Amino acid sequence: MDFAATTEQRRMIAGARRFASGLGRLGEGLDESEFNKAGWEACAQYGVLGWLTPQEYGGAGLDPLSAALSLEALGAGCADNGLLFAVNNHLFACTTYLLDHGTPEQRSEWLPALASGSVIGAHALTEVTAGSDVLSMRTVARRVGDRFVIDGRKTYISNGPVAGLFVVFARTDEGAPGQASISAFLVPSTQSGVTVRPLTKMGLGGTPMGEVTFEDCAVPATSLLGEPGGAYQMFQTGLVWERGFMFATQVGALERLLDEMVAHCNERRQFGRTIGSNQSVAHRIADHKVRVETSKLLLHKIAWKVKAGHLAIEEACMLKLWVSEALKSISLDLLQLRGAAGFLAGAPAERQVRDSLAATIYGGTSEIQRSTIAAMSGLVVSGAAS
C-alpha cells in the first residue's frame, strides 16, 4: 500500500485547506437551526459537491484516495462542523448510492444537479424503531401498476428540511426473507405525499434535521434504485462510504483541534510558565497526536482498498469508532484546558463539544461499531449485522 500523495494531490490538499479556512465566516450570525446556504454555495462553486461525480456528469471524478485527502484537508481548514456534516450527508448518503447503483437514466437526471449543489441530497432510512437495525423498518412501498406507493415515516433525517432528493428505504415484499424485503427509491421532495417537519438538535448547526412522512406517495417504477429487494445489501456496502469517507473531514478536524490545543498550551501561562509544560497536559497532547496519525493511516488504507476494488467494511467501522471517540475526547480536553472561558455558551470550545457528541451516534453508534467489529473478527455477537 502506497499512501504517498502525488504532486497533483498535494496541490489539491493545499487548495482545499486554503478554501476551507474561509468557510467558517460564512456561517457567522446564523441561528444554529439555520442552513448555511452561503457556505453550501461556496462548496458548490469550489467543486466539493462534485468531487466524487464523474466528469461526464459535471463533477471532478476524483479517485477515492484523492477524495479522502481533499476531504481531510477540508476538515482541517474549516471549523464549521454543521456545514461539513451537511456536505458529507449529501455526498455519502445520497450521491454515492446513485454512483454505485443508479441506472444511466437516473444518473443523467440527478448527478449533475447533485454535483452543482442545486439539489441537496438526503438519506431517508432511519425510523423511530429502525436505525442500524434496518430490518425493523415499517415504511412500505406497494406496487400498484407501473408505480410504487410509499407509506411511512422517517426521522432524524439530516438535510431533510432542505433536501431536493431523498434516497428512501422501504419494504416492498412482506413475504420475502427479511433482507430481501427492502428496496430503495429516489424520491424528490416535491413529490405529492411527501411532508417534512423540522427537528431541533443540540449541535451541528447548519445541518437541518427533519422528520419525513410519506403518505400515499406514488412514484414511478423507474424510481426504484438498484434491484427490487436489493437495498439491504446496498446499505451494507454503502457503509464504507458512510462510516469511512464521511469521517475524512473529522480526521482533518482532529488535526485542526490538536494544532489549536498546542497553540493554546504554548501561549497560556499560569504560575510563571506555560500550561503545556505541565506533564499532565503534555501527555494529553501526546495521546491526541497518536490518535491523529493512526486515524490518517486507517482512512488512507480504506481509500486505497476502495480504489483497488476491495471492500473495507471492517476498516470503515474501526475508523468510525476510533475517530468519533477521539473527536469527543479532544473536544472535551480543549474545553477543560480553556476553563471557564471554554464553558461559556456559544464559545468555540463549547460548540465543538456539542458537535462532537453526535459523531458517536450518527452512522451507527459506537456500540454498534464495536459489535460489528467483534462479529467480523469471528465472535458470534447478537445485533452486529449493520
Q: Where are the alpha helices (DSSP H) in 208-312?
A: 231-239, 248-267, 279-307
The single-letter code of the amino acid at 293 is E
Distance CA 326, CA 252 (A): 12
Residue 40 belongs to what H/E stretch? helix 37-46
Q: Residue 291: how many CB atoms within 10 A of its CB? A: 20
Distance CA 114, CA 104 (A): 15
Distance CA 157, CA 239 (A): 16
Phi, psi of 67 (to 5 degrees): -65, -45
Q: Are the C-beta atoms of 225 and 206 separated by less than 8 Å?
A: no
356 alpha carbon, distance to own chain's centre: 13
Burial status of residue 112 (CB atoms within 10 A of its CB: 0-12, 13-18, 19 or more): middle
Distance CA 26, CA 22 (A): 7
Distance CA 198, CA 156 (A): 9
Phi, psi of 179 (to 5 degrees): -65, -30
Handedness of CA 340, 344, 348, 353 (dihedral sign): positive
Q: Find the angle CA(178)-CA(134)-CA(177) to the nearest 5 degrees.
A: 5
DSSP strand E in 9-164: where? Answer: 121-124, 140-144, 147-158
* Residue tagged 452543482 (cell numbers): 116
Q: Residue 9: how many CB atoms within 10 A of its CB? A: 17
Choose, from 72, 211, 242, 350, the residue flagged as catalytic: 242
Short-list 335, 319, 348, 351, CA closest to 251: 319
Please indicate whether residue 242 is annotated as part of the active site.
yes
Active site residues: 242
